[in-house]
Amino acid sequence: MKKLAFFFLLAGLLLGPVLVGDAAPLGTFLRGSQTGCFLGNRGSWEELTAPKIQFSVGTSLKTDRGGWGTLVFPFGSLVLRGNSQVRIEPSGLLLQTGSFKAFVRKSPQGFKFRIPSATLSVRGTVFSAEAAGGLQVEAGIVEVGISGQAPETVSDGETWGQTADADQLPESLKQFEGALKAEHDGKSEVAVKQFLELVKSPAYAGLPTFRAHLVEKALVDFARAGLSLTHALAGALREAVKEFPGALFNSLQTTLSGEEAKASRSLLGFAPDARNGKSPDPRELVAEALLAEMTADDDGMNKAIKDLTKDPKTRVQAEGAGEFWGTSLTYLQAMTDPRSIVPARITVMISPSGLRKLSPKAAAHRVSLATRLPAETLEAQGLYFLLKALWADKKTEKAAWLMEFFRSHYPGSPWLDHAEKLVSQRIVPEGPVQSGIRTPAASVSATLSHPSGLVAGSSKIKLKPGSNVGMPGKTNGNPSSGLATGTTQAGESAETPTGSAESLNDSF
């Protein structure tokens, strides 16, 4: 059965089926040149005038001789050089003509790219590829797979096939690739310095969005390296933030979505420069509250939330600043005063688009919170999203309770129909769930208060031990079960079991 789920693109573009109707962006393409970048549209090409676009499966991009740009993915960056063309396909990123250079961060799963003659499998690698059949590896290992032949390994410093002369590249492009290489190699100070130098380069004078991207990368590298605000590079960063305040909040989104507390605290040190004498941006207040929540600073979190909500205009501005900031505000308010939130905001918080931007751990925290909210804060669509996340993370008992509640209180809802289809497509365990779940002595009860204005019904759900209502099933002969995961808050001491929350990334 086709799974109605979006498999999060943690590159190599190992994509599964996409949720019907979901044109989920997989990354962002930024122009690095004034002209010469084109977007494919139904067999024709339109020159890009926008400084950046989001792309998804089916997107085609190409450059002419003087054009180039960078594709930014969750796993790293790819530089599309001049006279090149790529297409994002369900099976991977295909380089059709020309060349690219990829900077792929280390990850347990490894990633894949394609050229017409081979598949390239990489993990923690810097390499350039030619569509004509060439490969040069600067760091890590690339495994070259050709149909009907044994895989060939190309290591650091080695080449395969015919490679192009990098000296022919524009100087500004070579400098950008050099900064990305320093970043990949962990030479943070070098990378920050080079990114900041590029911000001032005349080659990028007419590309403010790309310059802001350079500032964003410099900020993230600076913060992750733990460099002090008294560091020699901090002054140049402060000036850059004054010119591009949005880069600071994009950087904070990167570190906060990954629950990087130290880096986020470092970035907040540049907030006065982003303010530039004005009142704090609502995103600054949301960032302070999220950081306080991560570090179990209850007083700090309550103060930040109070500052956010005392003026309705501030709250509205935070909600309108972007999906991450709006859903983060919902998350924070749901922890302190869930009944003040309209159900639609909870739905957005746990929607596929809301969760896929977060790290597995951060996504698990938000799903976990949603399972503990009063029932009236969840609407039918929100229940559907929550059920999908629970099933994907093998929280079978919670999913069963929620499915019974869904059936009792939302009869006739199209979202219930979607949920029933998911249940019907799964092989349900025949007996009690045994793997890691404590078997109750009597019936298991989950109390959910009755949503106002809905069809009357029992507000208490009782399931007998071993009930399999709504449970995901076996795929290999073993019950699809395990400890309910992702239920600890960020400030609690218990750790999410290894590999548990990762399934949330694969659930949408």
Please check whether residue 507 lies inside any domain of the structure: yes
Rounded Cα distance, 458 and 485, in Å: 27
Per-residue pLDDT tens over the stretch 76-119: 999 999 999 999 988 789 999 999 999 998 876 678 899 999 99
Per-residue pLDDT tens over the stretch 160-173: 998 766 667 889 99
Query: Which of 388, 31, 86, 406 is CA-nearest to residue 207?
Result: 31
Of the pLDDT bands very low, low, confident and very high (cuts 50, 70, 90), residue 341 is: confident
Tally of domains in the chain: 2
Cβ atoms of residues 479 and 472 within 8 Å: no
How big is the chain by its Cα radius of gyration, in Å?
A: 24
Please check whether residue 201 lies inside any domain of the structure: no
Please check whether residue 392 lies inside any domain of the structure: yes
Q: What is the mean pLDDT of residues 409-420?
A: 88
Least confident of 33-42, 114-123, 445-454: 445-454
Of the pLDDT bands very low, low, confident and very high (cuts 50, 70, 90), residue 356 is: confident
- Share above pLDDT 70 across residues of the chain, in percent, rounded to a whole number: 78
Residue 50 has pLDDT above 50, yes or no: yes
Please check whether residue 388 lies inside any domain of the structure: yes
Cβ atoms of residues 15 and 109 within 8 Å: no
Residue 2 has pLDDT above 90, yes or no: no
Chain CA centroid to CA 3, Å: 20
The pLDDT, as a whole number, for residue 166 is 65
Rounded Cα distance, 384 and 380, in Å: 6
**Degrees to nearest 5, angle at CA 82 with 78 and 83:** 115
Q: What is the mean pLDDT of residues 237-260?
A: 97
The pLDDT, as a whole number, for residue 190 is 98
Rounded Cα distance, 383 and 377, in Å: 10
Residue 484 has pLDDT above 80, yes or no: no
Least confident of 38-52, 119-133, 388-402, 494-508: 494-508
Produce one character per residue of 308-328: b if its CB has 16 or more CB atoms within 10 Å, e if not: bbeeeebbebbbebeebbbbb
Last residue of a domain, one of 164, 188, 203: 164
Q: Phi-psi category of 261—alpha, beta or left, where left has phi over 0 and alpha has psi -120 to 50?
A: alpha
Reduce the secondary structure of 14-66 to three states and give it as a string: CCCCCCCCCCCCCEEEEECCCCCEEEEECCEEEECCCCEEEECCCCEEEECCC
Least confident of 274-278, 349-353, 475-479: 475-479
Please check whether residue 296 lies inside any domain of the structure: no
Q: What is the mean pLDDT of residues 376-395?
A: 84
Rounded Cα distance, 282 and 298, in Å: 19
Rounded Cα distance, 277 and 281, in Å: 11
Please check whether residue 325 lies inside any domain of the structure: no
Residue 151 has pLDDT above 50, yes or no: yes
Last residue of a domain, one of 118, 136, 164: 164
More confident residue, 75 or 133: 133
Q: Give this prediction's pTM.
A: 0.77
Rounded Cα distance, 8 and 506, in Å: 5
Residue 453 has pLDDT above 60, yes or no: no
Least confident of 318-332, 396-410, 445-459: 445-459
CATH code (residue 7): 2.60.120.1440
Rounded Cα distance, 410 and 414, in Å: 9
Of the pLDDT bands very low, low, confident and very high (cuts 50, 70, 90), residue 433 is: very low
The pLDDT, as a whole number, for residue 41 is 80
More confident residue, 55 or 480: 55
Residue 94 neighbours by CB distance under 10 Å = 18
DSSP assigned state of 375: G
Last residue of a domain, one of 164, 186, 219: 164
Per-residue pLDDT tens over the stretch 213-238: 999 999 999 999 999 999 999 999 99
Please check whether residue 204 lies inside any domain of the structure: no
Task: Identify the domain containing residue 135 by its residue range.
Answer: 1-164
Residue 440 neighbours by CB distance under 10 Å = 14
The pLDDT, as a whole number, for residue 463 is 35
How many angstroms separate the first and last alpha carbons of the chain? 16
Please check whether residue 350 lies inside any domain of the structure: no
Cβ atoms of residues 172 and 204 within 8 Å: yes
Helices and strands, number each (H, E), in the chain: 18, 17
Q: What is the mean pLDDT of the chain?
A: 78
115: which 2 tokens?
């050229």
